[in-house]
Amino acid sequence: MMPIPSPIEADTDSRREFLRNILAGTATATVLMVFGPGAMALSDPTRRTKNKAKHQFAYVININNCIGCGNCVRACNKENNVPASVFRTWVERYVVTDEGVYVESPNGGLKGFEAVNKKLRQNFKKSFTVPKMCNHCEDPPCVQVCPVGATFKTEEGFVLVDHAHCLGCAYCVQACPYAARYIDPIKHVSDKCDWCYHRVKNGKLPACVTVCPNKARLFGDLKDPESEVTKIFKEDQWMVLKPHMHTDPTCFYIGLPREVV
Amino acid sequence: MELPGDALVNFIFPNNAKVWWSVMIVLYPYLTGLMAGAFVVSALSHVFKIKEFKPIANFALIAAFCFGLFAATPLLVHLGQPQRAYEIYVTPHLTSAMSIFGYFYSGYLVLLMIEIWLIYRPYFTRMANQTKGFMGFIWYLLTLGQLEYNPASAKVDQKIIAVLAGIGIPWASVLHGYVGFVFGSVKAVAWWATALQPFIFLSSAIVSGMAVLFLMYTFIRWRQRQAYDFAMVRKYMAFLWGIFILDYALEVIELAFVVYERGYHWSLIEPLLKGPLFDSYAIMQMGILSVTPLLILGYVVLSNISGRMMIHMANFGSLILLLQVLFMRFNVVVGGQLISKSERGFVDFEWEILAKEGILTAIVLFVAPFVTYYIISRFIPIFDDPAAGKEGS
């Protein structure tokens, strides 16, 4: 099992670079906040690593590696006792044809997918599978709208729900652009993916990451320069879902086709 | 059915299978609107001195109070954990548009109570002095132990009433604009996210509140075999017609803007309005239920019609307006959720009858304010002048 990386232990050069980045980032952010649109300031990548928390976790989904096996959905359901009608994570299959886009997620992709039917194959252009989950946004609308503060963002990047205080009003469910939230039909409170907070706090990876056979799902600490997510983040080739919502997700996608919503 | 996003099949996100805000959340802004609208009528008399509305000012206030008592009950029924509802008062999360609704709503209800108490204080005092036994004790409690009422106290009371009514107008406006804000600020739901939402909710609230109040008025006059105040009815219809024109204009502008903009919102809304919402929005809300009252009330206001025919037409117009606003609330609250966040499909809305948030509960909660009004009217002479002790209209 892959351990959670230790906090940052940078050498002098990288520390200088880190400080330079912070200064540059802070200056840019300040200028943008004062003179530019607020949304641009939110996209400033350095703000993810400049806070004082020991860790800054992030999640990466590599579409090129996902085979749509549904292992992640099954592991999540088992790990978190997810009720049958709702999903903390799910996998969508896209079949892009000349006539339009065919998307499906039968039972959240829990049992994988059947072969694409003949009719679709005739006009077939491309097909791929896309895992989805809570994006643990930097500027989460669900946290903004919770009337009692029962959902919140930790310094380390988790967006969590305090079940002991949630009213079950579903305002957060409405506010989430990704439909990552639901009202638990048994507990009658809001729920969603929490990156397996209970596991991560004990040095383990989220269940979905652990079972992925093809490294389509990665999880790590942006403050650890050796972590895979940090390297991917630095390469700056990632994309996010619904960027026009300006929620600034911390769930980064690699190879995200334009058809994905 | 035309689907958004170049979709070949109706695809909704797995967590979108259910419409999370259903009939109860349709009823909540509806009842809040009836309260705010009814209050406006009393304020038109108390603050803006529209003399024709003086005989119904107290009636409007009591009706507003009755709707107000139940305005938040649909929310309570909707909550997954209703026993924690008080937490909105003790731990409000101030970034939430919903967080200070509790304070706004309760404060407004208290304002209404104080205003009603001051208006009926002379009556409570008189009854406490005249009645013995248990009821005498109840009347005594309602006087808060103050059994004297003289011209000097009446003068002070009238001043406070005017101030409260004055505060009540912006408060009612903000309260209902606020309800529209709760929806309009949700960027994730394309059909809700418009800055016009608070104004549309506010204007439609006044329309529905005035409409329901008029229906109550004519029903009560008819049951009690009392004469209608035709001058008041004509004036009332002029106000109702005018405010509905404003309301309808805002609704049309909202739609026209999105259509003309041809942007992201319209890409999702167009299939919604041409598909699942076509009947209830295009045909009913914007068509039949709007054009009919515009013509009928227009005729009542502009023609020389009078007598029973005017009452019939005004009643019919008011009833249609009450339905128009109900359809509007449904089309906004439920309609917005019919577009899946997958942007490639529509969610099915299933009507529930006996469920916790079903039609039956909605009917009970909708009827409750009328029952409360009936009970209050058994004890308080709503259409009489509380100070004179005789009929004022």
Which residues, 6+ apart, have CB-to-CB distance to A145 below 8 Å?
Answer: A171, A172, A174, A175, B95, B96, B97, B98, B186
Which residues, 6+ apart, have CB-to-CB distance to B10 below 8 Å?
Answer: B1, B3, B344, B345, B346
Average pLDDT over residues A179-187: 98
Residue B173 in domain: yes
- Facing A141 at nearest CB: one of B16, B188, B340: B188
Per residue in A50-68, pLDDT (tens digit) is: 778 899 999 999 999 999 9
pLDDT at A7: 37
User: Six-digit token pair at A2?
Assistant: 């892959």
Subunit contact B14:A178, Cβ cutoff 8 A: no
CA angle B6, B7, B9 (to 5 degrees): 160
Residue B326 and residue B186 in contact, taking contact as beta carbons nearer than 8 Å? no
Give the number of C-alpha atoms closer than 13 A to the C-alpha of residue B261, restricted to the C-beta side.
15
Subunit contact B79:A149, Cβ cutoff 8 A: no
Tell whether B35 and B77 lie within a shared domain.
yes
CA angle A158, A140, B357 (to 5 degrees): 105
Q: Does residue B372 sit at the A interface (CB-CB below 8 Å)?
A: no
CB count within 10 Å of CB B56 equals 26
Residues of B in contact with A131 (CB under 8 A): none
What are the structural domains of chain A? 55-261 (3.30.70.20)
Q: Tell me: pLDDT of B344 over 70.
A: yes
Q: Does residue A231 sit at the B interface (CB-CB below 8 Å)?
A: no
What's the distance, CA A155 to chain centroid?
Answer: 16
Tell whether B371 and B232 lie within a shared domain.
no
Residue B12 in domain: no
Q: Tell me: pLDDT of B393 over 60.
A: no
Per residue in B175-224, pLDDT (tens digit) is: 888 899 999 999 999 999 999 999 999 999 999 999 999 999 999 999 99
Tell whether B238 and B286 lie within a shared domain.
yes
Subunit contact A167:B15, Cβ cutoff 8 A: no
Proportion of chain B above pLDDT 90, given as a percent: 90
Tell whether B54 and B80 lie within a shared domain.
yes
Per residue in B21-80, pLDDT (tens digit) is: 999 999 999 999 999 999 999 999 988 999 999 999 999 999 999 999 999 999 999 999
How far is B166 from B151, CA to CA, in rounded Å?
A: 23
Query: Strand, coil or helix: what is B148?
Result: coil
Q: Tell me: pLDDT of B115 over 90.
A: yes
Subunit contact B11:A103, Cβ cutoff 8 A: yes
Question: A248 to chain B nearest CA, in Å?
Answer: 14
How far is A240 from A256, CA to CA, in rounded Å?
A: 8
Q: Does residue A84 sit at the B interface (CB-CB below 8 Å)?
A: no
Average pLDDT, chain B: 94
Average pLDDT over residues A118-132: 91
How far is B25 from B37, CA to CA, in rounded Å?
A: 18
Residue B86 in domain: yes
Residue B269 in domain: yes
Q: pLDDT band for position B354 (50/70/90)?
A: very high
Q: Give the DSSP H or E segment for A160.
A: strand A159-161
Q: Which residue of A has its CA nearest to B334?
A: A174
Residue A251 and residue A135 in contact, taking contact as beta carbons nearer than 8 Å? yes
**SS3 helix, strand, coil % of chain A, rounded to 5?**
35, 20, 50
DSSP assignment string, B44-57: HHHTT--GGGHHHH
Question: B328 to chain A nearest CA, in Å?
Answer: 19
Tell whether B241 and B343 lie within a shared domain.
yes
User: Six-digit token pair at A63?
Assistant: 């579409």
Residues of A in contact with B346 (CB under 8 A): none
Residue A135 and residue A104 in contact, taking contact as beta carbons nearer than 8 Å? no
H helical segments located in chain B: 23-46, 54-71, 73-78, 87-90, 101-130, 133-142, 151-184, 197-223, 230-261, 264-274, 289-302, 307-338, 359-379
H helical segments located in chain A: 12-35, 38-42, 71-80, 118-122, 141-145, 171-175, 197-200, 207-211, 228-235
Subunit contact A167:B79, Cβ cutoff 8 A: yes
Question: B164 to chain A nearest CA, in Å?
Answer: 28
**Cα-flanking dihedrals φ and ψ of residue A237, to 5°?**
-105, 10
How far is B369 from B69, CA to CA, in rounded Å?
A: 7
Residue A57 and residue A220 in contact, taking contact as beta carbons nearer than 8 Å? yes
CB count within 10 Å of CB A31 equals 12
CA angle A103, A72, A112 (to 5 degrees): 45
Residues of B in contact with A176 (CB under 8 A): 188, 341
Residues of B in contact with A90 (CB under 8 A): 13-14
Q: pLDDT band for position A47 (50/70/90)?
A: low
How far is A41 from A23, CA to CA, in rounded Å?
A: 14
Question: A144 to chain B nearest CA, in Å?
Answer: 5
CB count within 10 Å of CB A183 equals 20
Range of the domain at B262: 189-195+211-349
Q: Does residue A101 sit at the B interface (CB-CB below 8 Å)?
A: yes
CB count within 10 Å of CB B148 equals 9
User: Six-digit token pair at B304?
Assistant: 């020389």
Q: Does residue B76 sit at the A interface (CB-CB below 8 Å)?
A: no
Q: Does residue B227 sit at the A interface (CB-CB below 8 Å)?
A: no
Tell whether B71 and B90 lie within a shared domain.
yes
Tell whether B276 and B294 lie within a shared domain.
yes
Q: How many domains are contained in chain B? A: 2
pLDDT at B296: 98
Tell whether B180 and B242 lie within a shared domain.
no
Residue B7 in domain: no
Tell me the residue type at A64: N
Tell whether B333 and B356 lie within a shared domain.
no
Closest CA to B32 of B78, B77, B71: B71
- The DSSP bridge partners found for residue B385 are B390
How far is B153 from B124, CA to CA, in rounded Å?
A: 14
Proportion of chain B above pLDDT 70, given as a percent: 98
Q: Does residue A169 sit at the B interface (CB-CB below 8 Å)?
A: yes
Q: What is the reported pTM?
A: 0.90
**Cα-flanking dihedrals φ and ψ of residue A66, to 5°?**
-75, 130
Q: Which residue has the higher pLDDT, A222 or A17?
A: A222
Q: Which of A72, A148, A245 to mutate: most B Cβ within 10 Å? A: A148
Residues of A in contact with B340 (CB under 8 A): 179
Bridge-based pairing state of the strands A251-254 and A57-62: parallel
Tell whether B326 and B229 lie within a shared domain.
yes
Residue B297 in domain: yes
Q: Which of A82, A151, A167, A187 to mutate: most B Cβ within 10 Å? A: A167
Average pLDDT over residues B9-29: 96
CA angle A139, A144, A145 (to 5 degrees): 145
Residue A180 and residue B15 in contact, taking contact as beta carbons nearer than 8 Å? yes
Question: A195 to chain B nearest CA, in Å?
Answer: 18
Tell whether B109 and B251 lie within a shared domain.
no
Q: Does residue A132 sit at the B interface (CB-CB below 8 Å)?
A: yes
Subunit contact B7:A101, Cβ cutoff 8 A: yes
Q: How many beta-carbon contacts under 8 Å exist across A and B?
A: 138
Per residue in B277-310, pLDDT (tens digit) is: 999 999 999 999 999 999 999 999 999 999 999 9
Tell whether B288 and B392 lie within a shared domain.
no
Residue B307 in domain: yes
Q: Does residue A122 sit at the B interface (CB-CB below 8 Å)?
A: no
Please, which contacts does B386-392 make with residues 24 or more away whose CB atoms are closer than 8 Å?
A: B386/B58, B386/B119, B386/B120, B386/B121, B386/B122, B386/B123, B387/B122, B387/B123, B387/B154, B389/B123, B389/B126, B392/B54, B392/B55
Residue A221 and residue A51 in contact, taking contact as beta carbons nearer than 8 Å? no
Residue B3 in domain: no
Proportion of chain A above pLDDT 90, given as a percent: 76
CB count within 10 Å of CB B316 equals 15
Tell me the residue type at A141: P
Average pLDDT, chain A: 87
Q: Tell me: pLDDT of A104 over 70.
A: yes
Q: Which residue of B has its CA nearest to A187?
A: B80
Question: B34 to chain A nearest CA, in Å?
Answer: 23
pLDDT at B390: 45
Placement of tokens 């008025």 in the chain: B217
Closest CA to A151 of B98, B189, B21: B98
